Amino acid sequence: MKKLNRSILRRINYCIGFMLSLLGVSFTGCIAKYGCPTIQCEYGVPSADYQISGRVENAQKQGIQGIKVSLKEPNYDLFESNPHATDTTTTDGAFYIKCTDFPENEFWLIAEDVDSTENGSYRRDSMLITPEFKDVPGNNWHHTAEVKDIVITLEEEK
């Protein structure tokens, strides 16, 4: 009797899973939100390639090396959620972030000093950026967005 019940439940589970897959339901969104910064896009889901570049500098307009720059969605907790992408500034303070995600109208760009000793000590700062989308010819579901020449000025901690 137990084997018959397990067999029936297993078949029901396979049927439900098959029906959900036909409808395009996926549970990868939970994985992306809680631990995996890259997302798995389903067929037919719009996506966008983001390219964000700029410079982190101090009050004297000098580039700061070793600053972590993160790109995060505005819907989640600003400093606790997993970032979409991160980069560390080069010797002249430049950063470049490239990622693919769902089309969002705005993102938080967060700059924080993670070493705090090598380049001085700077306060964390953030700014809300709004990418401008460009359509990819012949593809209504895929867009590109480029945001250039962002300047983030960090204040020194006292």
pLDDT in tens, 64-79: 999 999 988 776 555 5
Query: Which pLDDT does position 30 carry in this prediction?
Result: 46
Query: What are the angstrom distances between the C-alpha of 66 and each of 22, 69, 82, 87, 115?
Result: 47, 9, 20, 9, 7
Structure token digits, residue 138: 């012949």
As annotated, the residues of the chain forming the CATH 2.60.130.10 domain(s) are 45-153
Q: What angle do CA 74, 77, 82 make, to 5 degrees?
A: 85
Q: In this structure, how many other beta carbons lie within 10 angstroms of the beta carbon of residue 103?
A: 15
Q: In this structure, how many other beta carbons lie within 10 angstroms of the beta carbon of residue 82?
A: 15
Least confident residue range of 29-33, 49-53, 89-93: 29-33
Residue 147 or 2, more confident:
147
Considering the four listed CATH numbers 3.40.50.261, 3.30.70.60, 1.10.1740.10, 2.60.130.10, the one that applies to the domain covering 45-153 is 2.60.130.10
Query: Which pLDDT does position 54 carry in this prediction?
Result: 94
Residue ranges of alpha helices (H) inside 24-78 are: 28-34
Q: Is the pLDDT of residue 136 over 50?
A: yes
Write the single-letter amino acid at 30.
Answer: C
Residue 89 or 20, more confident:
89
Q: pTM for this one?
A: 0.66
